[in-house]
Every structure is written in structure tokens, then in C-alpha cells.
Amino acid sequence: MNIRLYNGLICTMSDRTEIIEGEEIWVQGNKISYVGPYKRSNLIFDRELDLKGNLIMPGFKNAHAHSGMTFLRSYADDLPLLDWLKYKVFPMESKLKKEYLYYLNLLAILEYLTSGITSAMDMYFFPEEMVRASIDVGFRSVLVSGINGDNLDSVKNMEDNFLRFNENHELISALIGFHAEYTSSKELIKAIAKTAERHKVSVYMHNSESKREVDDCIKRTKMTPTQYLNSLGIFEHGGGCFHCVYLSQEDFEIFKQKQIAVVTCPSSNCKLASGIAPVEKMINFGIKVALGTDGPASNNALDMFREMYLTTVLQKVVNNNASAMDAVKVLEMSTKIGASVMGLTDCDTLSSGKLADLIVIDLHQPNMQPLNNILKNLVYSGNKQNVKLTMINGKILYENGKFNIGVKPEEIYKEVNKIKSYVFL
């Protein structure tokens, strides 16, 4: 399909994060072929889309998710963290079967599309089912393994998936990772580090999400999780750490020196009472920070507008400074910085040659009026209700509240409610 998008405002995010008027975008197949002033084209467009003054921008990149946890959404809210995990999450997860994951992932993808999220970095059981769901509907997924324990065979399996998924399909890529230091043996972590060394790639994991996790690690190893992981050689080719609510000054130095990125998940950290990550300090220190929704059991939404808003206002209130964490920076974190952390630099901005992962934001809604500062207002007042169109890999998957993914939402809801009834028996 060749699609022309015209008569809109454009935020390419290529160079500076600003709004351009009077330009148009052409999509040919799965790529953007032109962004610039109106000009005559010899192309035959299958569709010419009048944006009516609405904003077109890169899609949001959700840099931390457990998509398949949709079945646990609102199953156990308002519980202390350890009760939540021990009595609710773990027992139910143990009942998961591979065949459930397809529809659980599809439900998450539906929600991503409504929020303008064009790709997610996913860590969950049976990743091949997220691969299958993503390919079937056209969603872009980055799979990251979440292995645990002390079985070194799982490292081989992790490596196999890493190689296999990266060869699999243009919508799918994979990164190396494991759940966290507190769920992995030293030997497992060392074996992962060796695998990463062999492929010269970064490793991704949960890190310093709760105070207790950090305290326990110090008691056990006399090191913070970051120092401990670093001592095992896991960060030799950089890395990405999810949450990072509690970092010491020495941890900050390691993050900077080893070029480790942070994925902050403010909703989840608040709802589980984990704390508020020092994001403003990270950024001032030169650490790259992306945004993630975490899983729907602890959020409960998969909504990048919520994460953007929280990222800025929480930094303002904890730093006692209303000018902390500028909204335009947050917009970059949720798009092109996220893409960089996820290894998706081929779909991070709107420019010729990039993959066509983009969204249209409805400015003809009361929350976006009047048009004072559109980019800042996107963070402070923007809502998934403003997502008018979500395009991934050149294909429009969501438009004006309707999905175009080859499967009916009602069928997905029905299947997920069935799965829920099996699991909660």
C-alpha cells in the first residue's frame, strides 16, 4: 500500500523535537519514502489521508512489558506487594498453559494500539506465542528472555530464542535478558554474560525495583544489585535495567560508565508502593531513560500517556521543583529514546527510509484546545482518546476507534474471559 498523509502538523523527532507545518508524508510499503514540503508525485497512492490539522508523530515505544499478564488485570488490586505476588500472581501464573498466551497477548496488543504504542519489549512465558500474535496482527515486538533459577540449559534455550527470533520476521526482534539477580544463581548470570559476550550484545533485566530487593542483595553479596551484576560481567556490552527505583551513587557511576539504560515504570512502582525512581537525577547524570508500562497486573493499564504524565509530575513533586523533568524530554523518552533502548533505530523517527511506525493525534478534542503548546500538552493533557490512527510497518491497524487486525476484539475478549475462568477455577 502507498499512503499519503497530508494537511497535518508533523513532529518528525528526527532532529529537534518540534512541530512542522505545511509538509506531507508518503508511506510506500512498510517504509516512509518522503517527509517534506508538498510536491507532485508520480506514485499512485492507494489512499490519501487528509489529517485535517491533526498531529502526526512516531509511535510510542513501550520499553518494558509482560503483555501476557492481561488475565491478571484487576484480579488482585490493593494488596501488599508480597501477598500479591505469593498468594495471587505466582499461583495463577503456575496454571498458565502455552495455548492461553496467544489470546492474552492479543488483548495487550489491542490496548497498545489504542494508546498509540507501536512496539513493546516483552518479557514473559512462552515468548513464541507473543511472536505468533504479533505477526498475525501486524504488531512490532521485541522479545527479551526472562529466565530464572540455576538451570544452565535455560541459557542455551535463551540463546536459541535470541537467534531464532531475530531471523524470524521483519516485525520481530530479540534481546538477551533474564528476570533479575534475586531469582538467578551466580552461575546462571555468568553463563548469560558469556552468551552476551559471544554476540557482543547488551543484557536486559529487572534491577533495584524495591528497597527490600536491594537490602537483601547487600546482605547476601555485600554489593548492591547493580554492583553485583557488574561484578559478574553482565554489563560488558551495555545493558538495560527495568525499574531502578533505588540506586546508590556508585550505581549511578556504573550506569554511566557501562552505558546502561534505565526503563522507568512509574505507574507500576506507585501502585505496588515500590517507590519513585530518581529519573530527573538519572537524566542530569547522563543516563538514558526510556518508559515502560510494566504488566497489566500491576498498572493496570497499558497506556503510554499515563506513563508520560507520571514521569514528569512525579519528578516535579519529589524534587519540589515545578520545572523538573521537561515534558518535551519525556516525549523523546517515550518514542525515540525508547526505540534506541529497544534496538529499534529503524523506526524511531519520521524520515525517509525509516519503517512506517507512526500515530495521528486528534487535536480536535477539548483536552488539546486551545493550541498553545501542543507537544507539552500532549504529555500534560494527552489521552489515548486522542489516538486517531496507529500505523505499524506501513499498515493502519487502528483508526477512529476501529481495529483492522484480522480478528474481532469481541472474539479476543471472549477467549480471554474463558482463559480467566480456567485459570481461576
CB burial of residue 65 (10 Å; 0-12, 13-18, 19+): buried
Question: Could you tell me if 242 and 265 are in contact, meaning their C-beta atoms sit under 8 angstroms apart?
Answer: yes
Binding of residue 79 to a copy of itself (CB under 8 A): yes
Cell of 397: 491497524
For residue 132, the surrounding DSSP H or E stretch is helix 127-137
Binding of residue 381 to a copy of itself (CB under 8 A): yes
Binding of residue 376 to a copy of itself (CB under 8 A): yes
Of residues 9, 49, 65, 110, which one binds a copy of itself by CB under 8 A? 110
Nearest distance, CB of residue 166 and a copy of itself, angstroms: 28
Binding of residue 324 to a copy of itself (CB under 8 A): yes
Binding of residue 7 to a copy of itself (CB under 8 A): no
CA atoms within 13 A on the CB side of 239: 27
Question: Candidates 29-37, 157-165, 168-176, 295-303 — which segment interacts with a copy of itself by CB under 8 A?
Answer: 295-303
For residue 87, the surrounding DSSP H or E stretch is none
Binding of residue 316 to a copy of itself (CB under 8 A): yes
- Residue whose C-alpha cell reads 518508559 in the numeric block: 291
Binding of residue 178 to a copy of itself (CB under 8 A): no
Measured from the CB atom, the residue of 38 and 87 that comes closer to a copy of itself is: 87
Binding of residue 425 to a copy of itself (CB under 8 A): no
Measured from the CB atom, the residue of 26 and 242 that comes closer to a copy of itself is: 242
Binding of residue 420 to a copy of itself (CB under 8 A): yes
For residue 27, the surrounding DSSP H or E stretch is strand 23-28
Nearest distance, CB of residue 290 and a copy of itself, angstroms: 20
Binding of residue 42 to a copy of itself (CB under 8 A): no
Tell me how far apart the alpha carbons of residues 89 and 405 are, in angstroms, rounded to a whole number. 30
Q: 62 - beta bridge partners?
A: 120
Site string for a copy of itself, 400-419 (x = CB under 8 A): -x-------xx-xx--xx-x
180 Cβ neighbours under 8 A, 6+ residues apart: 205, 206, 207, 209, 213, 225
Binding of residue 377 to a copy of itself (CB under 8 A): yes
Site for a copy of itself in 262-281 (CB under 8 A): 267, 269-276
Exposure letters 26-49 (e unless 16+ CB within 10 A, then b): bbbebbbbbbeeeeeeeeebeeeb
The amino acid that residue 197 corresponds to is E
Of residues 292, 296, 338, 394, which one binds a copy of itself by CB under 8 A? 296
- N-term to C-term CA, the chain: 46
Measured from the CB atom, the residue of 3 and 106 that comes closer to a copy of itself is: 106
Of residues 74, 222, 249, 353, which one binds a copy of itself by CB under 8 A? 74
Of residues 55, 57, 96, 107, which one binds a copy of itself by CB under 8 A? 107
Closest to 300 (Cα-Cα) out of 23, 60, 76: 76
Measured from the CB atom, the residue of 100 and 252 that comes closer to a copy of itself is: 100
Binding of residue 225 to a copy of itself (CB under 8 A): no
Share of the chain residues as helix, strand and coil, in percent rounded to the nearest 5: 40, 20, 35
Say whether 263 sits in a helix, a strand or coil: strand
Nearest distance, CB of residue 379 and a copy of itself, angstroms: 8
Of residues 320, 353, 406, 425, which one binds a copy of itself by CB under 8 A? 320
Nearest distance, CB of residue 369 and a copy of itself, angstroms: 5
For residue 62, the surrounding DSSP H or E stretch is strand 60-65
Tell me how far apart the alpha carbons of residues 93 and 112 are, in angstroms, rounded to a whole number. 22
Of residues 369, 404, 411, 422, which one binds a copy of itself by CB under 8 A? 369
Measured from the CB atom, the residue of 128 and 326 that comes closer to a copy of itself is: 326
Nearest distance, CB of residue 310 and a copy of itself, angstroms: 8
CB burial of residue 320 (10 Å; 0-12, 13-18, 19+): exposed
Measured from the CB atom, the residue of 117 and 341 that comes closer to a copy of itself is: 117
Binding of residue 70 to a copy of itself (CB under 8 A): yes
